[in-house]
Amino acid sequence: MTDSLLSVRDFSVVYDVDPPVRAVKDVTLDIKRGEIVGLAGESGCGKTTLAYGVQRLLRPPAVITGGDVVFHDKSGDDVDINSLGVEEMRRFRWDKVSMVFQGAMNALNPVATIGSQLEDVFLVHRPEMSRVERRNAVVELLEIVKVGGQRLRSYPHELSGGMRQRVMIAMALALRPQLMVMDEPTTALDVLVQREILRQISQLRHEFGFSVIFITHDLPLLLEISDRIAIMREGEIVELAPAERIWNDPQHEYTRKLLASFPRLTGEKGVVAR
């Protein structure tokens, strides 16, 4: 079995507007089993378009104009994602690859309980499960993400922002996917809650062995959690390296500028040390 979980080759996306916008340009990227890969860059650089594109979640006017995306299943099968039919793609998503969308903690249905919304995942993807099995699975998920089974009958407005985000992570974990894509999952949270969520993602990754693509413009945050970091600029990956090397020895001028754009706690006022 290959060490690679997801292989992206020469992947391109164009927004078919006037004039056309090349949002992702011939990107090549491998995601290894069990690793966290950070995807960093300024707003509009193509991070989310790339992540949505490899899962075929893009909507018009976005058009995939080239490239291959292959998922190397732990069963040993290679899945050509671009060739999957609509029903095959529906089964593939959430089961093999799940996603925590940007602003996901505000995406919960306000008039449905947390438990019923988590149960919906099993109703759709595991219809053979009994009601008791579904309920037990939901309680287990809430315990895993440290929300607690007692919140089963709670409504979203009764939870804090951090707890709602944990529920979304539980939803993404429900079917034990091999890859989780997280798009700015901590942006709306305060710093302390951010760190709690990051620690939990790392712990869950070690416990369940899934890989993570973590998308954010916050490079210092990625340096804490990632094994490798891909720096995107204008639709291209300009640098890809282990997190430690990105911090200690960035090779691309744009990476150095990104690092320099974040204030330091020490040093002269108004001077950024590198």
User: Please, what are the domains in the chain?
Assistant: 4-260 (3.40.50.300)
Residue type, 150: Q
pLDDT surpassing 60 at residue 150: yes
pTM of full prediction above 0.75: yes
Provide the 8-state DSSP code for 9.
Answer: E
The span from the CA of 181 to the CA of 202, in Å, is 14
45: tokens are 């650089």
Tokens coding 274? 């590198």
User: Of 208, 175, 30, which Cα lies nearest the Cα of 96?
Assistant: 175
Per-residue model confidence (pLDDT) at position 39: 96
| Cβ within 8 Å of residue 181, ≥6 positions away | 51, 55, 97, 98, 99, 100, 212, 213, 215
**Band of pLDDT at residue 184, cut at 50, 70 and 90:** confident
pLDDT in tens, 93-130: 999 999 998 776 678 899 999 999 999 999 999 999 99
- Token readout for 62 is 């976005």
**241-259: per-residue pLDDT in tens?**
999 999 999 999 999 999 9
End-to-end CA distance of the chain: 41
**78 token code pair:** 């290679």
The predicted pLDDT at position 271 comes to: 45
Percent of the chain at pLDDT > 70 equals: 95
Distances (CA, A) of 258 to 40, 179, 252, 272: 9, 27, 10, 11
User: What pLDDT is attached to residue 266?
Assistant: 61
Q: Where residue 1 falls among pLDDT bands split at 50, 70, 90?
A: low
| Mean pLDDT across 147-154 | 94
